[in-house]
């Protein structure tokens, strides 16, 4: 049985959506990130990085969203959520997810999690001011250069789709109107109609 350590509103939503997409049996263990739930000795024993998501599997714990998403696609190949037999297409997919994890997520985190990088109030405020501009720059690139349509990687729905949906859901809080990116906006609305997304969002907080 898989167990996802999840906090609503965070990047772990992407993994939860894919768990529902593949229909694999799983438990969800809610972590209250706002109340320090990632810093308890119990949780640090699960993920010493002190972050969600973490996925408990029969072979051990997996962390990092791109790794968890690809693992789920691999254990459920019948769901067709990644081009597992095509090295180039799979690398392109991983490049997209890596961009979300290493650049877009980090650009967003400078608003709610600036204290990871600075202590001075003026530094934190300075970082927050940069967030709308940096997120706009990232999403302009996705809109015009990376998003193939109608799904992220083209004709086939993949593990990149719930991840883009998850990161896109942070834009409003970051002071950016998603409507400024019409293709991403259309994708966001279509994602919201999927049963797997409705189920994932319905997980009690």
Ligand X SMILES: N[C@@H](CCC(=O)N[C@@H](CS)C(=O)NCC(=O)O)C(=O)O
Q: Does the bond joining 24 to the residue before it have cis omega, within 30 degrees of 0?
A: no
When asked if residue 53 is in the footprint of ligand X (CB under 6 A), the reply is yes
Minimum CB separation of residue 101 from ligand X in Å reads 4
When asked if residue 97 is in the footprint of ligand X (CB under 6 A), the reply is no
Q: Which residue in 4, 6, 10, 136 binds ligand X (CB under 6 A)?
A: 10
Of the listed pieces 51-59, 77-85, 180-188, 190-198, which binds ligand X according to CB under 6 A?
A: 51-59
Tokens read off for 165 = 């949906």
When asked if residue 33 is in the footprint of ligand X (CB under 6 A), the reply is yes
Minimum CB separation of residue 52 from ligand X in Å reads 4
> What residues have CB less than 8 Å from 62, skipping those under 6 apart?
54, 55, 68, 71
When asked if residue 11 is in the footprint of ligand X (CB under 6 A), the reply is yes
| Residue (78 or 135) nearer to ligand X, CB | 135
Q: Which residue in 17, 62, 64, 96 binds ligand X (CB under 6 A)?
A: 64
Tokens read off for 186 = 């259309």
| Residue (51 or 187) nearer to ligand X, CB | 51
Contact 125, 131 (CB under 8 A): no
When asked if residue 50 is in the footprint of ligand X (CB under 6 A), the reply is yes
Find, among 26, 16, 15, the residue nearest to 58 by Cα.
26
Minimum CB separation of residue 173 from ligand X in Å reads 12
Minimum CB separation of residue 105 from ligand X in Å reads 6
Which residue bears the tokens 């991840």? Answer: 163
When asked if residue 65 is in the footprint of ligand X (CB under 6 A), the reply is yes
Name the packing angle between helices 12-22 and 65-75 (round to 10°): 0
Question: For residue 181, what are the CA distances in angstroms to 48, 141, 184?
Answer: 37, 10, 5
Find, among 192, 163, 29, the residue nearest to 104 by Cα.
163
Of the listed pieces 21-29, 45-53, 70-78, 139-147, which binds ligand X according to CB under 6 A?
A: 45-53
Name the packing angle between helices 160-168 and 182-192 (round to 10°): 110
Binding mask 160-189 for ligand X (x = CB under 6 A): ------------------------------
List of residues contacting ligand X (CB under 6 A): 10-11, 33, 38, 50-53, 64-65, 101
């Amino acid at each position: 049985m898989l167990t996802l350590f999840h906090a609503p509103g965070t990047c772990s939503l992407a993994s939860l959506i894919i768990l529902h997409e593949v229909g694999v049996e799983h438990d969800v263990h809610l972590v209250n990130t706002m109340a320090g739930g990632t810093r308890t000795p119990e949780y640090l024993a699960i993920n010493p990085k002190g972050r969600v998501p973490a996925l408990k599997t029969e072979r051990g714990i997996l962390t990092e969203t791109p790794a968890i998403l690809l693992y789920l696609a691999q254990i459920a190949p019948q769901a067709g959520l990644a081009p597992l037999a095509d090295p180039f297409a799979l690398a392109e997919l991983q490049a997209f997810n890596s961009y979300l994890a290493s650049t877009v997520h980090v650009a967003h985190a400078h608003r709610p999690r600036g204290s990871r990088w600075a202590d001075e109030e003026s530094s934190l405020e300075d970082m927050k001011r940069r967030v709308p501009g940096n997120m706009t720059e990232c999403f302009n690139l996705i809109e015009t250069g990376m998003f193939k349509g109608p799904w992220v990687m083209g004709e086939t729905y993949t593990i990149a789709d719930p991840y883009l949906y998850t990161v896109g859901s942070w834009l409003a809080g970051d002071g950016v109107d998603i409507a400024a990116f019409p293709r991403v906006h259309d994708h966001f609305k279509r994602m919201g109609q999927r049963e797997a997304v409705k189920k994932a969002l319905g997980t009690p907080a």
